[in-house]
A and B are shown apart, each in its own frame.
Chain A
Amino acid sequence: MDIETVTAELERAIEAGDEEAGPAAARALLDLGVEPTYVTSALSRAMARLGRQFQRLDVFVPDLLVATDAFDAAMQVVEAALLKSESGRKLKGTVIVGVVEGDIHTLGKNLVAVMLKADGFQVHDLGRDVKVARFAEAAQEFQADTIAMSSLMTTTMGRMKDVIDLLVTQDRRQRYRVMVGGAPITQQFADEIGADGYAEDAPDAVALANRLLASGRAGGGET
Chain B
Amino acid sequence: MPSVTPRQRIEAALRGEKTDAVPIFLRDLTLGLDVCDFTTPEVCAGGPGGIYHAQKSARCVIETQRLLGHDCVVGSIHDLGLDVDTLGGRVEFPERGIPYVAEPAFSTPEDIARARLPDLHTEGRMPGVLRSYQLVAEALGDRVAIAANVEGPVTKAGLLRGLDSLLTDMVRDPAAARAAIDFAVALACEHVRALLDAGAHFIFVAAASDGPGVIRPEQYLEYTIPGLAKILAAASERGAPVVFHPHGPFTDERFWPLAEAAIETGIAGFQFGERNDLAIAKQRWGKRICILGGPDIPEVLLPGPAERIREVTNEVVRGAGGDGGYVLMPSCSIHREFPLDHLRAMIAAAREYPV
Contacts and interface: CB of A to CB of B under 8 A. Distances in A.
A122 interface: no
Interface in B140-179: 163-164, 167-168, 170-172
A164 B170 CA distance: 38
Contacts of B335: 153, 155
A203 interface: no
Contacts of A183: 298
A79 B208 CA distance: 38
B12 to A, nearest CB: 34
Contacts of B248: 57
Interface string A177-211: 00000011000000000000000000000000000
Q: Quick one: which of B101, B163, B338 has the most chain A CB within 10 A? A: B163
A183 B102 CA distance: 21
A57 B217 CA distance: 10
B215 A102 contact: no
B27 to A, nearest CB: 16
A156 B97 contact: yes
Interface string A50-80: 0000000100111101100100000000000
A104 B100 contact: yes
B98 A110 contact: no
Interface string A109-131: 01000000000000000000100
B215 A62 contact: yes
B36 interface: no
A66 B97 contact: no
B298 A62 contact: no
B234 interface: no
Interface residues of B, number: 31
A17 B170 CA distance: 13
B215 A60 contact: yes
A169 interface: no
B168 A103 contact: no
Contact of A65 (B102, B167, B298): B167
Contact of A60 (B164, B172, B212): B212
A110 B215 CA distance: 15
A107 interface: yes
Given A106-B163, A155-B336, A184-B298, A61 B97 contact: no
A57 B336 contact: no
Interface string B215-253: 111010000000000000000000000000000110010
Given A106-B163, A155-B97, A61 B214 contact: yes
B20 interface: no
Interface string B246-275: 001100101000000000000000000000
Given A17-B171, A60-B215, A154-B302, A106 B98 contact: no
B92 interface: yes
A103 B298 CA distance: 15
A183 B301 CA distance: 13
Contact of A102 (B97, B168, B170): B97
A219 B172 CA distance: 39
A103 B94 CA distance: 11
Given A62-B167, A65-B168, 9 more contacts: A17-B171, A60-B216, A61-B214, A65-B171, A66-B168, A102-B92, A104-B102, A153-B335, A155-B97
10 contacts: A57-B254, A60-B219, A63-B216, A66-B171, A102-B94, A102-B98, A129-B102, A153-B98, A154-B337, A183-B298
Among all A-B residue pairs, the 4 with the closest Cβ atoms: A62-B167, A183-B298, A60-B216, A66-B171
